[in-house]
Amino acid sequence: MAEIVDFLDRVKKFYKFTHHEVRGLLVSIIALAFIISFKEWGGAAFDFGAGMFNLFNAVLIVALSVLIHDAGKRLWGLAVGYRIEFKMWAFGLIAALVIAFLTNGSIWLIVPGGFMLHHLAGHRLGWFRYGVNYFGQAMVALAGPLFTLMLIILLKVLYAFSPNPLLQKAIIFNVIFAITSMLPIPPLDGSKIYFGSRMLYAFVLPAVIIATILMIANIPVFFSLVMSLLIGVVLWLVYYISFERKAWTGPK
What amino acid is encoded at 205 in this protein? L
- 122 within domain boundaries: yes
Whether residues 43 and 133 share a domain: the answer is: yes
Whether residues 54 and 151 share a domain: the answer is: yes
- 148 within domain boundaries: yes
Distance between CA atoms of residues 141 and 188, nearest Å: 9
- pTM for the model stands at 0.91
For 57, the domain range is 2-184
Q: Model confidence over 128-144: pLDDT tens digits?
A: 566 678 888 999 999 99
- 33 within domain boundaries: yes
Enumerate residues 6+ apart whose C-beta is below 8 A from 22.
Answer: none
Whether residues 178 and 204 share a domain: the answer is: no
Whether residues 147 and 24 share a domain: the answer is: yes
- 191 within domain boundaries: no
Q: Model confidence over 67-124: pLDDT tens digits?
A: 999 999 999 999 888 899 999 999 999 999 999 999 998 999 999 999 998 888 766 6
- 189 within domain boundaries: no
Whether residues 171 and 203 share a domain: the answer is: no
Q: What's the pLDDT at 46?
A: 77
Total tally of structural domains belonging to the chain = 2
Ranges assigned E (strand) in 56-175: 82-88, 113-119
Whether residues 158 and 93 share a domain: the answer is: yes
Positions in the chain short of pLDDT 70: 1-2, 42-44, 122-131, 246-252
Whether residues 10 and 99 share a domain: the answer is: yes
Whether residues 179 and 205 share a domain: the answer is: no
